[in-house]
Structure 1
Amino acid sequence: MPLLEVSNLKKIYTTRFGGNQVQALRNVNFSVEKGEYVAIMGESGSGKTTLLNILAALDKPTGGTVLLDGRDLSKIKESDVATFRRDNLGFVFQDFNLLDTFSLQDNIFLPLVLEGKAFKEMRQRLLPIASQLGISDLLSKYPYEVSGGQKQRAAVARALITDPRLILADEPTGALDSKSTDELLRLFSEINQDGQTILMVTHSVKAASHAQRVLFIKDGEVFHQIYRGNSTNEQLYQKISDTLTILATGGDRQ
């Protein structure tokens, strides 16, 4: 059974004034296997953010289902949603979402503090992650004292420390320079090779070219998908670029 299964997903918004309806997602179907690294791409307004919000249990679909490990996200009680997200999902955002009044260590510990974990256990979980991400000597620093790339590595550590079933990454390289981008993408590949499932929404062809599979969303539907197969990052980059050109010029579904 797939780790994540999205079936016939639809989302319709009703505007506040005039009662007009906007269909953000039409009929989205895809699945993600445990250990996969999947990128989702599409133009602004294609439905990517809506899809991500539903996968994160921040919004409910108008129709269809999202199953994570066989559990229907839309049937989770409102009072249990925050706990479900904390126990099952890790989040990496474009703008890091770190608290400036907390050290990097305390930012990373936050989801475990909310779980009521003891400091000793939190520290035991953190040390190998911090070592892998190269931030062991930065843990006592505050977000305003480190670079954007270091902030994002701290954010990745916070996502990993709960041992989530799925990491959802929203434009994770969007605020990074090219060197920090390369470093983060290398780390994502390492984390994935260790068995972590990653679903990343991105506008970056470079970021998507590190994934195993790329889904393209257009007008609220999955328009096309590309599997890495034996392709190098450079070859996958070119395939993605070609597909985005087709999307932009109104080409047919492939």
Structure 2
Amino acid sequence: MSLLDVKNIEKIYTTRFGGQKVRALKDVSFTVDRGEYISIMGESGSGKTTLLNILAALDKPTKGEVLLEGKSIVSIKEKDIAEFRRNNLGFVFQDFNLLDTFSAEDNIYLPLVLARTDHKEMEKRLEPIARKLGISDILKKYPYEISGGQKQRVAIARALITGPKLILADEPTGALDSKASDQLLNLFSQLNKEGQTILMVTHSVQAASKAGRVLFIKDGQVFHQIYRGDMSGDQMYQKISTALTALSTGGGSRE
């Protein structure tokens, strides 16, 4: 069943100096089914971050529509956007976006505090998430006291605690070493198996190879996509690598 429908999205920016128009996205359409795990890949400047910002309701398209469970996120009033994000979306960023003056626990609670959730309810939600992510023993510590991998787990807990329909991840392994990256990707796979829908922007072939589908963005368009099907992780990795090589050298065909 479709959770997210992206229909004919176009984004045009006007440069500050000279007033030139730059098309960042052109006629982008795809759907995300409930429970899918999708990676979005593309070279720098391809439009993938612009696309993620539109899906996160951080930016609006020049044309087109984005529907979450059949409801338009493009037409949400400015005063209601923050509440919409809290109630529907979870975010995981490359640089964690944790507040250094808050403990790990308070960073996780933040979206619930903003939603004025009862403290007992917050504690009830946090306990199973912290146990699953292996961060129960660091909840009272501050971001500067924990490792990068632990920071990212705290960020994931913050994303999960609102019970989001969709997790949007922007280069989540970008600031992690290989061991922490592997742990994070295994965690994402586990969450997806439990039913969580995940959409991840990444440059990493290793990260993308964990997904069930990979969308390739080139020159602001969905140029190609790969479905995992019954491929192994190694086969998926090789298929993605081949596709990236073809895209960077001008080969391949738009799908």
What TM-score range do you get, normalising by the shorter chain? over 0.9
Aligned to 2:66: 66
Q: Give the distance between the partners of 2:95 and 2:81, measured in 1 at CA.
A: 23
- The code of the aligned residue for 2:115 comes to E
Is 1:29 matched with 2:26? no
Aligned to 1:79: 79
Is 1:38 matched with 2:41? no
Aligned to 1:253: 253
Q: Give the distance between the partners of 1:110 and 1:118, measured in 2 at CA.
A: 12
Deviation per CA, 1:59-117: give whole Å up to 9, x if none: 10000111011111111011000000010000000000000000000000000001111
Q: TM-score, normalised by structure 2?
A: 0.99
**Partner SS for 1:75:** coil
- The code of the aligned residue for 1:197 comes to T
Q: Give the distance between the partners of 1:181 and 1:252, measured in 2 at CA.
A: 30
Aligned to 2:112: 112
Q: Give the distance between the partners of 1:19 and 1:252, measured in 2 at CA.
A: 34
Would you identify which runs of 4 or more consecutive aligned residues in structure 1 move more than 4 Å?
A: none
8 Å Cα contact 2:13-2:24 kept in structure 1:
yes
**Partner SS for 2:19:** coil
Is 1:235 matched with 2:235? yes
Could you tell me the percent identity over the aligned residues? Answer: 71
Alignment map for 1:87-236 (pairs within 5 Å): 87-236=87-236
Aligned to 2:10: 10
**Partner SS for 2:122:** helix
Q: Give the distance between the partners of 2:100 and 2:243, measured in 1 at CA.
A: 40
Q: TM-score, normalised by structure 1?
A: 0.99
1:252 CA displacement: 3.2
Q: Give the distance between the partners of 2:17 and 2:245, measured in 1 at CA.
A: 36
- The code of the aligned residue for 2:163 comes to D
**Partner SS for 2:174:** coil
Aligned to 1:19: 19
Deviation per CA, 1:124-150: give whole Å up to 9, x if none: 100100011000111011000000000
**Partner SS for 2:195:** coil
Deviation per CA, 1:187-239: give whole Å up to 9, x if none: 00000111000000000000000000000000000000000001111110000
**Partner SS for 1:243:** helix
Q: Give the distance between the partners of 1:234 and 1:242, measured in 2 at CA.
A: 12
**Partner SS for 2:176:** coil
Q: Give the distance between the partners of 1:74 and 1:49, measured in 2 at CA.
A: 17
1:15 CA displacement: 0.6
Q: Give the distance between the partners of 2:54 and 2:166, measured in 1 at CA.
A: 14
Q: Give the distance between the partners of 2:131 and 2:209, measured in 1 at CA.
A: 26
The answer for unaligned runs of 5 or more in structure 1 is none
1:121 CA displacement: 0.6
| Count of aligned residue pairs for this structure pair | 254
1:17 CA displacement: 1.3
- The code of the aligned residue for 1:32 comes to V
- The code of the aligned residue for 1:208 comes to A
1:118 CA displacement: 1.1
1:18 CA displacement: 1.1
8 Å Cα contact 2:243-2:252 kept in structure 1:
no
- The code of the aligned residue for 2:125 comes to R
8 Å Cα contact 2:41-2:216 kept in structure 1:
yes
- The code of the aligned residue for 1:227 comes to Y
8 Å Cα contact 2:173-2:184 kept in structure 1:
yes
